[in-house]
Chains A and B, each alone.
Chain A
Amino acid sequence: MNTPINPGDTAWMLISTSLVLLMTVPGVALFYGGLTKKENVLNTMFMSLIAFALTSIIWVLYGYPLAFGSDLHGLIGNPTNLLMNNININSPTPLAPTIPALIYIGFQLTFAAITIALISGAVVERMKFSAWTAFIIFWISLVYVPVAHWVWGGGFLSQLGALDFAGGTVVHINSGIAALALVYLLGKRKDTRLLPHHLGYSVIGASLLWFGWFGFNAGSALTANGLAASAFLVTNTAAATAMISWIIIDYLKTGKPTLLGAISGAIAGLVAITPAAGFVTVPAAIIIGLITSIFSYLAVSELKAKVGYDDALDVFGIHGVSGLWGSIATGLFAAPFVNELGTGLFYGNPKQLFIQILAVVIVMAYSFTMTLIIGKLLDMTIGLRVSEKEEIEGLDTNLHEETGYRL
């Protein structure tokens, strides 16, 4: 095959892939690690590291072929390239025609890995490490892979016209809802307070997430062109406005701006713009960013307390809720002059909003149900939760025979 591989695109996608890797390790690991109690810092970071390693193996064995292989009945990919067999190192894939397929595979791998790593934030401080590793294998195989196929790999949701530029549905709603299902099975921690032991880690982690997110969103253009530049700029704009919006809400509610609020807002903004990044204008990004903090703030400070679920680090409140808003906002703000593939309600296509809502509802229902089934089966076999003694003394020494600090 005579391939039109473009060196510029290839270089950009190598960088983007590395940037998305940086989001999980060390981004999520530090962000979550700083928010937990000091007795659990290593276990929390370890959950992200093992998520990346296990997903990396699953992806090259069978994950990628099933998610992105040629479509079978709209449901799953045809696994003709198991173990990366029959993929020429210089050939592109139809989904990314100007870069080698192997880079596209690597890029998608990092998305799968961060999605499962994000879920860990909900279950930290009480989940068995063995159960977590088993959960990673089953969840990536049975939830992430099919959902990625439906939305991105040519499955029924992409055939319907659902828009998800960089993972609002596949990554953020998917992980947020799975987090909710898993904490429902696990139950509350003995001490449910969020008292970060090292907020400085979290600031570094969140900053690395912001940095890596440019690979996540601008990389999703799959080329180094104007669309990538547009995605880059709206991503940064939404993050910045959402940060400011959260700070204002904090100030109005408590009289003081908080740093955790600021970084939570930035991440909520990054999440919300993710599905829309390749479809919307800068003014739309400002609106998306400003509004998303309100939704996420209400979810973490009001909804969580009212319903009583123990989502330790607010994975549902930030990723689930902001992902939901971002996916719906894509149906509202998608501008055909930014990307001809998307025309939203405000540009005369109300059908797009309906498709977005339908896609979101289907993914939420599937992710929640499947996560419950996987979690329940694990609970009945190896058990999901650590013993009371282990939880009170901390997971680092009890599960890993290590301690984060020797002072």
Chain B
Amino acid sequence: MKAIIAIIRPEKLEKVKENLVRVGCYGMTVTEAKGRGRQLGIRESYRGKEYHIDLLPKTRLEIIVNDNKVEEVVDAIVKSAQTGDIGDGKIFILPVEDVIRIRTGERGEKAV
């Protein structure tokens, strides 16, 4: 089992959710986040003065999948969240030791 953590543009969330459903991935946890990448944010200009804003609003998705679904899910996220511009985000894949469904007490792959 793997945890897929995806940091995406907030405006891409709806499309990402749609495409994940298409590949049979339903569960997810979504949080509002702030972050920056290599370009260190953006510039804003107020009354003729420029300001550097280095932490931008992002959306953070956490998805737990069985090993055989990882590539499919990652592919769906990349395809639906990509604009080609700086700031599209990142995906991290982490190993998951165990999963427990609280309602039934099931563990492991059955609980994913």
A→B interface (CB under 8 Å): 193-196, 249-250, 253-254, 256, 258, 260-261, 264, 297, 300-302, 305, 314
| B38 neighbours in A (Cβ, 8 Å) | none
Q: Determine whether the beta carbon of A254 is less than 8 Å from that of B46.
A: no
| B11 neighbours in A (Cβ, 8 Å) | none
Q: Determine whether the beta carbon of B51 is less than 8 Å from that of A264.
A: no
Quote the shortest CB–CB distance from A317 to chain B (angstroms). 8
Q: Determine whether the beta carbon of B46 is less than 8 Å from that of A195.
A: yes
| Bound Cα distance A193, B47 (Å) | 11
Q: Output the residue of B45, B47, B51 with the most chain A CB within 10 A.
A: B47
B interface, over-half SS: strand
Interface residues of B in 27-66 (CB under 8 A from A): 44-51, 53
Q: A254-B45, A300-B47 are in contact. List 14 more A-B contacts (CB 8 A).
A: A193-B51, A194-B49, A195-B46, A195-B51, A249-B48, A250-B48, A254-B48, A254-B50, A261-B48, A297-B47, A297-B48, A301-B47, A305-B49, A314-B47
Q: Determine whether the beta carbon of B51 is less than 8 Å from that of A301.
A: no
Q: Determine whether the beta carbon of A301 is less than 8 Å from that of B44.
A: no
Q: Determine whether the beta carbon of A253 is less than 8 Å from that of B51.
A: no
Q: Determine whether the beta carbon of B51 is less than 8 Å from that of A261.
A: no
- A to B CB contacts below 8 Å, 20 in the list: A194-B46, A194-B49, A194-B51, A195-B44, A195-B46, A195-B53, A250-B48, A254-B45, A256-B45, A258-B45, A258-B46, A260-B46, A260-B47, A261-B47, A261-B48, A297-B47, A297-B48, A300-B49, A301-B49, A314-B47
B→A interface (CB under 8 Å): 44-51, 53
Q: Determine whether the beta carbon of A196 is less than 8 Å from that of B50.
A: no
| Bound Cα distance A254, B50 (Å) | 9
| A195 neighbours in B (Cβ, 8 Å) | 44, 46, 51, 53
Quote the shortest CB–CB distance from B40 to chain A (angstroms). 16
| Bound Cα distance A305, B44 (Å) | 17
Q: Output the residue of B44, B46, B50 with the most chain A CB within 10 A.
A: B46
In chain B, what residue has the closest Cβ to A254?
A: B45
In chain B, what residue has the closest Cβ to A253?
A: B48
| Bound Cα distance A253, B46 (Å) | 12
Q: Determine whether the beta carbon of B46 is less than 8 Å from that of A196.
A: yes
Quote the shortest CB–CB distance from B68 to chain A (angstroms). 39
In chain B, what residue has the closest Cβ to A298?
A: B48
| A253 neighbours in B (Cβ, 8 Å) | 48
In chain B, what residue has the closest Cβ to A193?
A: B51
| Bound Cα distance A73, B46 (Å) | 47
Q: Determine whether the beta carbon of A264 is less than 8 Å from that of B47.
A: yes
| Bound Cα distance A321, B23 (Å) | 62
In chain B, what residue has the closest Cβ to A318?
A: B47
| Bound Cα distance A260, B50 (Å) | 13
Quote the shortest CB–CB distance from B97 to chain A (angstroms). 34
Quote the shortest CB–CB distance from A375 to chain B (angstroms). 25
Q: Determine whether the beta carbon of A194 is less than 8 Å from that of B48.
A: no
Q: Output the residue of B44, B45, B48, B50 with the most chain A CB within 10 A.
A: B48
| A193 neighbours in B (Cβ, 8 Å) | 51
| Bound Cα distance A264, B46 (Å) | 10
In chain B, what residue has the closest Cβ to A296?
A: B47
In chain A, what residue has the closest Cβ to B53?
A: A195
3 A-B pairs with least C-beta separation: A301-B48, A300-B47, A194-B46
| Bound Cα distance A253, B50 (Å) | 11
| B44 neighbours in A (Cβ, 8 Å) | 195
| Bound Cα distance A250, B47 (Å) | 8
| B51 neighbours in A (Cβ, 8 Å) | 193-195
In chain A, what residue has the closest Cβ to B45?
A: A254
| B53 neighbours in A (Cβ, 8 Å) | 195
| Bound Cα distance A256, B50 (Å) | 12
Quote the shortest CB–CB distance from B42 to chain A (angstroms). 12
| A297 neighbours in B (Cβ, 8 Å) | 47-48
In chain A, what residue has the closest Cβ to B50?
A: A254
